[in-house]
């Protein structure tokens, strides 16, 4: 199925990698959203789990080693053309990882990468959801720990 003007939504994954208070972002090399900063990610392949897809995309785009994947949230990404037709439609599943090693190197669909704090996002041409995702990533408990509300 074509990614442009699809007949149905495509399932995509985003890898949100947390390293203390910084998060790994890539600048997209291709449409949609070319030149904008966001999480490494792409389309889930047939036979892949969501976690496997997020790990593959992270490796392909950055080479960063990350651990403890867990699903953080899901987003709708729908873009319409000038005539109002749906040009892109992705259901994006965000997988939160904890950084293990590697500074990363932009590859595949990424033209650049960097590690950013929440306050850095305002100065970047970032995708609209990036700040909210980073905030969710900062608030997410570390693996094996429960928040006060979850333990209550």
Average pLDDT over residues 133-137: 96
User: Does some domain include residue 105?
Assistant: yes
User: Does some domain include residue 152?
Assistant: no
Average pLDDT over residues 31-60: 95
Confidence of residue 152 (pLDDT cuts 50, 70, 90): very low
CATH number for the domain harbouring residue 115: 3.90.79.10
Pairing status of strand 22-28 against strand 65-80: unpaired
User: What does the alpha-carbon distance between residue 112 and residue 24 come to, in Å, rounded to a whole number?
Assistant: 11
The pLDDT of residue 150 is 44
What domain range is 98 assigned to?
10-141
User: Does some domain include residue 2?
Assistant: no
- Which long-range contacts (C-beta less than 8 Å, at least 24 apart) are formed by 43-50? 43/3, 43/10, 43/11, 43/12, 43/13, 43/90, 44/11, 44/12, 44/13, 44/93, 50/11, 50/13, 50/93, 50/95
- Number of separate domains in the chain: 1
User: Does some domain include residue 115?
Assistant: yes
Average pLDDT over residues 101-121: 94
User: What does the alpha-carbon distance between residue 58 and residue 93 come to, in Å, rounded to a whole number?
Assistant: 14
User: Does some domain include residue 150?
Assistant: no
Contact between residue 72 and residue 94 where contact means Cβ atoms under 8 Å apart: yes
User: What does the alpha-carbon distance between residue 7 and residue 41 come to, in Å, rounded to a whole number?
Assistant: 21
| pLDDT tens-place string over residues 13-44 | 999 999 999 999 999 998 878 999 999 999 99
User: Does some domain include residue 94?
Assistant: yes
User: Does some domain include residue 88?
Assistant: yes
């Amino acid at each position: 199925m074509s990614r442009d003007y699809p007949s149905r939504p495509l399932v995509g994954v985003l890898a949100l990698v947390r390293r203390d208070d910084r998060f790994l972002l890539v600048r997209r090399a291709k449409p949609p959203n070319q030149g904008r900063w966001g999480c490494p990610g792409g389309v889930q392949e047939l036979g892949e789990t969501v976690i496997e897809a997020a790990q593959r995309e992270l490796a392909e785009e950055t080479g960063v080693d990350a651990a403890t994947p867990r699903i953080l949230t899901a987003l709708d990404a729908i873009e319409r053309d000038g005539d109002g037709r749906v040009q892109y439609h992705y259901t994006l599943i965000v997988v939160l990882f904890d950084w293990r090693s590697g500074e990363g190197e932009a590859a595949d669909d990424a033209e650049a990468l960097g590690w950013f704090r929440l306050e850095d996002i305002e100065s970047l041409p970032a995708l609209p959801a990036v700040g909210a995702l980073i905030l969710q990533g900062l608030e997410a408990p570390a693996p094996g720990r429960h928040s006060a509300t979850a333990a209550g």
